[in-house]
Amino acid sequence: MRIAFVASEVAPFAKSGGLADVAGALPRHLRDLGHDIRLFVPLYSSIGQRAADVTPLSTAQGVPLYLGPHFYRFSIVEGRLPDTNVPLYFVHCPEVYDRTTLYTDGVDEHLRFLVLQRAALETCQRLAFAPDIVHCNDWHTALMPLMLKTLYAWDALFGATRSVMSIHNIGYQGIFAHGTIHDIGGDVRGLLEPAAASGGPINWLREGVRHAHAVTTVSPTYAQEICTPLGGHGLDADLRARPDGVIGILNGVDYSEWNPATDRYLKHHYTADDLSGKAATKRALLDWLNLPVADTTPLMGIVSRLTVQKGFDLLFDTLPEILATRDLALVALGSGEARYEDFFARLQHRFPDRVVFHRGYHDELAHLIEAASDMFLMPSMYEPCGLNQMYSLKYGTVPIVRRTGGLADSVQMWDPSTRQGTGIVFNDFDAGGVWWAIHTALDLYKDRDAWLQIVRNGMAQDFSWERQAREYEAMYLALPRG
Ligand code: ADP
Ligand code: GLC
């Protein structure tokens, strides 16, 4: 199959979260299955020299784009996904991508991602690349199914194209004032949902859900959750209205990137058979962070975007109390909303010998925390898939998670009677739940035999992309042909 895969992030070039990991890995594995897949992403100015090995695509230079009253020119520079021959088409349009952050709250935010979507389809035309599949990811690319039915409907190149809308996070929908309808172009009014058609704001993700040939999301449990009023963030009725439903495919892990036996950031590698490298990594990180704690003190890690989704509100009262009463050290890495940054900063201030908060984004430290920690905390309010709990399993770092979305699908509660299970899982989104989970983990940590068994159970799990990519392939193949 010929596949155009379009996303707003791709690791290692531009990343704010798990979408980048998926866009950097899934295409490679679809390529390994024999598909002709091409990736389209913005050339953000922050990518800079990381995209050094690129050449201008001669058929797509200075291409004019009219978005309503706005006029842009874009050019494509072609690279490769690292260590693959998957073409990576960077959309170069400094007017919209020369910003300090990937996302902005500026007035032209919709234009920035209209440029991406239009550039992807215009480039297919210029390359005479007739995609069997246009694979859209999240709201930034959610208007392409609609564009294929309107602006590009005339072009036989797209006559057999099927569109797939993958939802990585339904909490972000891309909702813009009705007036932006002119920027989309084409005769879309008759196809928009009724409220948008009659003057209301335009919700991009809703239109993606309504017009794509298939809607997928990143775990089976999240596929069920978003079809309910509680989990649907207002789109549940649109999702339920789809006769074919929502297909849940758990994300995979890129084990070439996340493997304690080969991790390029680790000095001390390790495997399930010999965990001495994990102990050495813990010691080294504690020393580097200047934390005067013993090897026997359990170390808990957190690596996260600090947003309401991630559930850290539950820690405001519980974590200070637990740190005050139990032997525990914490290393947290993340940035985001001020109230969470302030909370972790205050925690470090109150427990300077046992808590380190690193505010910011830091790839290497993220790997070190995964490897050095004994346990990893993800108390998410909702979690479409979540990748860090799967990384943690591989690194022998016991995940403590709430039973939601992909966390529910990838971590099994430890059962002392069968000695099965890979982590600590709590059900209710309340302080009592996380309080119970952390205490349970700390108690279990003292039972060295049980702990080692949980660690080994986790390290034996396999969430490789090889298998998950086949599920995407099967989903593509099952799409009705026109
Ligand atoms: P989400 O996409 O909702 O942020 P995921 O668990 O799917 O959650 O993916 C998060 C990804 O981003 C992981 O690869 C994680 O290691 C990485 N990450 C998140 N915050 C940071 C940070 N501050 N520094 C480095 N990596 C981070
Ligand atoms: C989103 C979700 C996360 C998921 C990631 C990749 O950012 O919040 O749970 O793992 O996308 O699909």
Concatenated DSSP letters of 55-95: EE-TTSSSEEEEETTEEEEEEEEEEE-TTS--EEEEEE-HH
The enclosing domain of 77 has a CATH number of 3.40.50.2000
Residue nearest to atom 14 of ligand 1 (CA): 18
- Measured from the alpha carbon of residue 408, the closest ligand is 2
Query: Per the domain annotation, does 270 fall within a domain?
Result: no
Same structural domain for residues 378 and 301?
A: yes
Same structural domain for residues 227 and 109?
A: yes
Q: State the pLDDT at residue 480.
A: 86
Query: Per the domain annotation, does 262 fall within a domain?
Result: no
- 440-460 burial: b if 16+ Cβ within 10 Å, else e: bbbebbeeeeebebbbebbbe
Same structural domain for residues 158 and 37?
A: yes
> What is the tally of structural domains in the chain?
2
Same structural domain for residues 243 and 390?
A: no
Give 75 Cα–ligand 1 centroid separation in angstroms. 30
Same structural domain for residues 472 and 441?
A: no
Same structural domain for residues 472 and 455?
A: no
Contact 17 CB / ligand 1 (< 6 Å): yes
Q: State the pLDDT at residue 482.
A: 61
Structural domain range at position 427: 276-462
Same structural domain for residues 443 and 473?
A: no
Angle of CA points 255, 169, 130, to nearest 5°: 75
> What tens digit of pLDDT does each residue of 155-180 get?
999 999 999 999 999 999 999 999 99
Contact 311 CB / ligand 2 (< 6 Å): no
Residue nearest to atom 5 of ligand 2 (CA): 18
Q: State the pLDDT at residue 203.
A: 98
Per-position DSSP letters for 140-158, written without gaps between them: GGTTHHHHHHTTTTT-GGG
User: Which distant-in-sequence residues (6+ apart) come within 8 Å of 436 by Cβ?
Assistant: 426
Query: Per the domain annotation, does 268 fall within a domain?
Result: no
Contact 184 CB / ligand 1 (< 6 Å): no
Same structural domain for residues 283 and 237?
A: no
Q: State the pLDDT at residue 395.
A: 98
Same structural domain for residues 218 and 355?
A: no
Query: Per the domain annotation, does 261 fall within a domain?
Result: no
Give 443 Cα–ligand 2 centroid separation in angstroms. 31
For ligand 1, what atom is nearest to the CA of residue 360? 23
Give 181 Cα–ligand 1 centroid separation in angstroms. 33
Torsion of CA 289, 278, 362, 339, to 10 degrees: -70
Same structural domain for residues 204 and 217?
A: yes
Query: Per the domain annotation, does 260 fall within a domain?
Result: no
Query: Per the domain annotation, does 123 fall within a domain?
Result: yes
Contact 21 CB / ligand 1 (< 6 Å): yes
Same structural domain for residues 385 and 239?
A: no
Give 79 Cα–ligand 1 centroid separation in angstroms. 24
Query: Per the domain annotation, does 231 fall within a domain?
Result: yes
Q: State the pLDDT at residue 481.
A: 77
Query: Per the domain annotation, does 77 fall within a domain?
Result: yes
Same structural domain for residues 285 and 369?
A: yes
Q: Which regions in the chain score pLDDT beneath 50?
A: none
